[in-house]
Chains A and B, each alone.
Chain A
Amino acid sequence: MATSNVPDISNQRVAGAQMPGQTTSALVAYLLLGTAFGVVLTKSEVLSWFRIQEMFRFQSPRMYEIITSAVLVAALSVALIKRLKVRTVGGEPIAIPPKKLGYGVSYAVGGSIFGLGWALTGACPGPLFALVGNGVTVMAAAIVSALAGTWLYGVLRPRLPH
């Protein structure tokens, strides 16, 4: 960010040169994929406060099996995309920009702060939206509060260690 003297080490894609495809058909595809993801979050039950408690109490392997198999499938897909030099539907080369490590403070501290919120609300950002759709409408208040949290981070960013 031009106005900040802090090295831009998080969310660098926003400032990066590579932009997600923005044709109308691509935008429709993102909306449909989001809808599918909302169904998956619900049917997998990862959006449930009860399941998150079960996970943090290590009383069922279910969440760990889900996360591990999700990472494996994603890793295998990414490896195949790189190996086969798969391109986007629009014909562009696919590239995943590396996250900059910096001092690593933002990942450790920010991650821990998010973890606190994850256990309290029982939801990470995707599930917050899926829960509103599921009729747990009070999560709309959690989303507004999350927006306030993100906004405060934006304000404090130049003074926080990264």
Chain B
Amino acid sequence: MTFAAAVILSGPWPWYVAGPAIGLFVPALLIVGNALFGVSSSLRHMCAAVVPGKVGYFRYDWKKTGLWNVLFVVGILLGGFLAAHWGPQNVAIAEATRNDLAKLGIHDFSGLAPRELFRWSALLTLKGFVLVIVGGFLVGFGTAYAGGCTSGHAISGLADLQLPSSIAVVGFFAGGLLATYFLLPRLL
């Protein structure tokens, strides 16, 4: 690995590198083949591939419309694996956030997510089950209903000045604030 690559890949990126880098995926995917940057559709394509049943929403040629999206998501997993092997994984969050989370009983701030909650053995506890299983379910249901997630609405949709996407993004934050200030204090 060259020195430049080592510098780029070792630590976390400042926002002015990270943000523009994310934004560039919109033109890159369009130029490769008119693909609209978005991740949550891959969940629909996977359902259509594996368990379409008699559900109209899943009865279409997923390979024709969604293979690109599924490959993109496989890539995301590989990219995470590669990046995990370069540099540290501790996230330097604000002191105020640390204090708030400590009050909720979180004490291990190493890694990308609280280790005591995000591990397999915690799935059998109420906290672990709600955070991972219920949370994941709401992500899948909500993004399908809204027709997009952070990438499809907050980035692609807002970048194309689409009104539906701005409504969706307001919803993202309404739900997120409700969970942060109402659900998490009662759960953790």
Contact = CB atoms under 8 A, between A and B. Distances in A.
Interface string B127-148: 0101111111111111111111
B19 interface: yes
B78 A34 contact: yes
Given A50-B112, A56-B176, A13 B101 contact: no
A130 B141 contact: no
Interface in A10-64: 10-11, 13-15, 18-23, 26-27, 29-57, 59-62
Interface of B is mostly: helix
B1 interface: no
B154 A149 contact: no
Contacts of B89: 134
Chain B: number of interface residues, binned into ranges:
35 or more
Nearest to A118: B176
Contacts of B142: 110-117, 149
What is the size category of the interface that chain A forms with chain B? Answer: 35 or more
B76 A124 contact: no
B74 A111 contact: no
Interface of B: 9, 12-13, 15-16, 18-37, 39-44, 46-47, 51, 55-60, 64-69, 71-84, 87, 89, 91, 93-94, 96-97, 100-101, 109, 111-114, 118-120, 122-123, 128, 130-151, 153-165, 167-180, 183-184
Those 9 A-B pairs whose CB atoms lie nearest each other, nearest first: A38-B79, A34-B75, A21-B33, A115-B175, A111-B171, A133-B80, A149-B140, A110-B145, A114-B142
Interface of A: 1-4, 9-11, 13-15, 18-23, 26-27, 29-57, 59-62, 65-75, 77-78, 80-81, 86, 88-90, 92, 94-101, 104, 106-126, 128-139, 141-155, 157-158, 160
